[in-house]
Amino acid sequence: MPVQGLIRRGISGWNLMTETITDASEYEHITDDIAAIVDDYNLPESLQHRIYETIEERGEVPIEKVDDIAQAIASRYEDSRVDAHDPVGTVSAQSIGEPGTQMSIEADESIVIRRDGETELTEIGSFVDTILAADNQETRITDGHEIALAPNGLEVPSLDTDEQIRWKHIEAVSRHASPDEILLIELESGRSIRATKAHSFVTRRDGDVLPVAGETLVVGDVLPTVGSYDHASGSISVPLQSQSVAADGGTVEPNTNITANAERDSASITSAGIIGSATWERISSIETVAPEYEYVYDLSVSGLETFTTGEGVVTHNTMNTFHYAGVAEIDVTQGLPRLIELVDARKTPDTPTMTVYLEEEYANERPRAHEVVWQMEATKILALGDISTNVADMLVQVDLNAETLNERWPTIGDSDLIAEEVQDIIENNLGVSTRREKMLIEFGPSEPSYRRLLQLVEELRDIVFKGLEDISRVVIRKEDNERTNGEEFVLYTEGSALGDVLPIEGVDASRTTSNNIHEVHRNLGIEAARESIINETMETLREQGLDDVNVRHLMLVADIMTNRGEIESIGRHGISGSKDSVLARAAFEVTVNHLLDAAVHGEEDDLEGVIENVIVGKPVAIGTGDVDLRMGSIDADSGRSANSGGSPELSDD
């Protein structure tokens, strides 16, 4: 088979590589045009053969159908690939420490939720299904789990660090296919819960509260519960602000049959959302049963990541440690590599990122926060619709998705106007004439050329239709707001463009930061860069458990790096390489080169610093080394020297 040299654009630039082109001559129905279309997708040889075999099975296939087949297989191939900087290692490590799949409960398990201040009891299956099926809901498939961020205003009773039950926000929901077996766990009070074996529970062991997998629980272990449970009526009673809930979905009168702890705490319900103290109950039995439903479900909750079932059992979810990482985590360089980046003052970090805070009206509502997201995140054509090529008519066809257009341009609201804007951007960037019919845009080369047709497709994929080219992804997280003692939405970006982000409407420029210290310097000045170096270095050490390092050491480093008005690295190309002393420069790195250059240029070393004096064996001119001591005899009566000269007699002792 012939081998052709290709230049392909990779993650870090243009890379020269060789690629084996699959020989299509062994297939009866594969023409040169079909082979050219398949080669365009740059698929592995095994997948090219798979396309050819599919075409052979169908006999003569129209050229446009060939492109559909190749596109479908290429799409599945791209979905299965892992790109550079994807947090694979992070997710893998977490899945080793704590099970990463099938951490959920049965569909008909009821859960207590508060929706916009109104308490209700609902089945987790229908609750999650409704969120996932919403028209404007973004979902993501990760390792077989369908995940989505939760709407605003949803809260659940959750265990806190002080063993109080408080209302906590639901951050995300998840479902996946049911496993072959699940656990049925019953407590001494008659409460029960059905969950997968890998689902995480909170228990007490040796006086410590810790999460464990359900399959490691044994009879006699304890689980946290809230309120009192009446097994006969199937109802629980907890000191909610408005009403109690019943396991069958109804309600009971508030503050009836409440445990002693709950009665004690009912008077202390405040705006902090305290419901009551957790009561620890022993497990009376554990059984393995078959699941009754197609899916099992889970919630991601802020804080200790716990939520409460309809029978008052507090269960710990592991969605934030695995599932949610796939949706809303940004992978950043940490540890020693990050520390080296900072002291070397590298122009661009390996993983540039920004923390973008929002103004109050945008920080409290997810739809308003999304308006800022779409102003920042680079929107390319593959996010807006599907691309196909019509080789027979020499056309590139773009089929736009109206829902996606309305989502990404929320302030316009008319998909036809947005499609017209997309059409104008294509014409201006590619220099072609286009034809549009509703959501379908078509264009092609001015002269029939298969090569030019493919070039247009590649150029189309690189166009940024909205947002900032340097920001490839934006993640929304809900975090505590120390200024208001409430919560707010904060944006984290993959990529950094501080100067372009700060003027965007809704961005709080006073708190927004970047991990690129040079970008901070260009936009905010040298003092801001100094603070950024201190904060970034301290945060890097804190992540590695070294938060006891005195910040004054880091302040000294930052001062040295910025005292000349520019950011200088600590190294031979920066501070150490710019010292006046030849010997001091030579002592750091490339000794021979420094000495040779100094000799060629006739440099002199005044031996004023510590390093050069240590090298030549002279006392360092600091402390006692900076004082000349002279001794002599003086006449006590006259105050004159005993010798005739009037000056003290010097001694060499």
Q: Kindly state whether residues 257 and 179 are assigned to the same domain.
A: yes
Residue 614 lies in a domain: yes
pLDDT of residue 556: 92
pLDDT of residue 357: 93
Provide the token pair at 338: 């990050």
Residue 211: how many other CB atoms lie within 10 Å: 17
Q: Any bridge partners for residue 507, and if so which?
A: 358
Domain count of the chain?
Answer: 4
Write out pLDDT tens, residues 608-619: 888 888 888 888
In CATH, what number is assigned to the domain containing residue 617?
1.10.150.390
Residue 146 lies in a domain: yes
CA distances (Å), origin 251, targets 126, 242, 282, 406? 19, 10, 26, 41
Domain boundaries, position 397: 379-462
pLDDT of residue 354: 92
Mean pLDDT of the residues in the chain? 75
DSSP 483: T
Write out pLDDT tens, residues 331-349: 677 788 888 888 888 888 8
Q: Kindly state whether residues 387 and 432 are assigned to the same domain.
A: yes
Over 60: is that where the pLDDT of 583 sits? yes
pLDDT of residue 558: 92
Q: Kindly state whether residues 152 and 209 are assigned to the same domain.
A: yes
Mean local confidence (pLDDT), 220-224: 84
Mean local confidence (pLDDT), 97-110: 59
Mean local confidence (pLDDT), 430-452: 87
Strand (E) or helix (H) holding 616: helix 610-616
List, in order, residues 6 or more apart from 434 with CB less than 8 Å away. Answer: 423, 426, 427, 441, 442, 443
Q: Kindly state whether residues 299 and 407 are assigned to the same domain.
A: no
Q: How far apart (Å, rounded) are the C-alpha atoms in residues 201 and 313? A: 10
Q: How far apart (Å, rounded) are the C-alpha atoms in residues 236 and 534? A: 52
β-pairing verdict for 274-277 and 251-252: unpaired
Write out pLDDT tens, residues 368-416: 888 899 899 998 888 888 888 888 888 888 888 888 888 888 888 788 8
Cα-based torsion angle of the residue sequence 475, 141, 326, 90 in order, rounded to the nearest 10 degrees: -150
Q: Any bridge partners for residue 6, and if so which?
A: 17
Q: Kindly state whether residues 419 and 279 are assigned to the same domain.
A: no
DSSP codes joined into one string, 117-173? TEEEEEEHHHHHHHHHT-TT--EEEETTEEEEEPPTTEEEEEE-TTSEEEEEEEEEE
Q: Kindly state whether residues 67 and 107 are assigned to the same domain.
A: no
More reliable by pLDDT, 271 or 66: 66
Give the predicted TM-score (pTM) of the model.
0.48
Over 50: is that where the pLDDT of 450 sits? yes
Residue 428 lies in a domain: yes
Provide the token pair at 484: 């208001």
Residue 599 lies in a domain: yes
pLDDT of residue 516: 92
Q: How far apart (Å, rounded) are the C-alpha atoms in residues 352 and 348? A: 7
Q: Kindly state whether residues 318 and 285 are assigned to the same domain.
A: yes
CA distances (Å), origin 610, targets 94, 569, 581, 626? 48, 21, 10, 12
Q: Kindly state whether residues 53 and 106 are assigned to the same domain.
A: no
CB 352 within 8 A of CB 495: yes
Residue 519 lies in a domain: no
Residue 581: how many other CB atoms lie within 10 Å: 21
Q: How far apart (Å, rounded) are the C-alpha atoms in residues 116 and 155? A: 8
Q: Kindly state whether residues 74 and 115 are assigned to the same domain.
A: no
Residue 468 lies in a domain: no
Of 406-415, 437-446, 458-467, which range is least confident?
Answer: 406-415
Percent of the chain with pLDDT over 90: 11
More reliable by pLDDT, 161 or 469: 469
Q: How far apart (Å, rounded) are the C-alpha atoms in residues 517 and 540? A: 14
Q: How far apart (Å, rounded) are the C-alpha atoms in residues 26 and 41? A: 20
Percent of the chain with pLDDT over 70: 72
Burial bucket for residue 280 (CB in 10 Å: 0-12, 13-18, 19+): middle
Query: Is residue 555 very low, low, confident or very high in pLDDT (cuts 50, 70, 90)?
Result: very high
Long-range contacts of the stretch 290-294 (C-beta < 8 A, 24+): 290/180, 290/181, 290/182, 291/106, 291/178, 291/179, 291/180, 291/181, 291/182, 291/194, 292/106, 292/107, 292/108, 293/106, 293/107, 293/108, 293/125, 293/178, 294/107, 294/177, 294/178
> End of a domain among 281, 311, 326?
326
Q: How far apart (Å, rounded) are the C-alpha atoms in residues 85 and 331? A: 7
Q: Kindly state whether residues 52 and 169 are assigned to the same domain.
A: no
Residue 75: how many other CB atoms lie within 10 Å: 13
pLDDT of residue 650: 52
Residue 592 lies in a domain: yes
Q: Kindly state whether residues 279 and 408 are assigned to the same domain.
A: no
E strand intervals along 347-485: 354-357, 385-390, 395-400, 434-437, 440-443, 473-481
Over 90: is that where the pLDDT of 62 sits? no
Query: Is residue 248 very low, low, confident or very high in pLDDT (cuts 50, 70, 90)?
Result: very low
Q: Kindly state whether residues 164 and 256 are assigned to the same domain.
A: yes
CB 445 within 8 A of CB 453: yes
Query: Is residue 272 very low, low, confident or very high in pLDDT (cuts 50, 70, 90)?
Result: very low
Closest of 65, 74, 15, 12 to residue 40, by C-alpha: 74
Residue 141 lies in a domain: yes
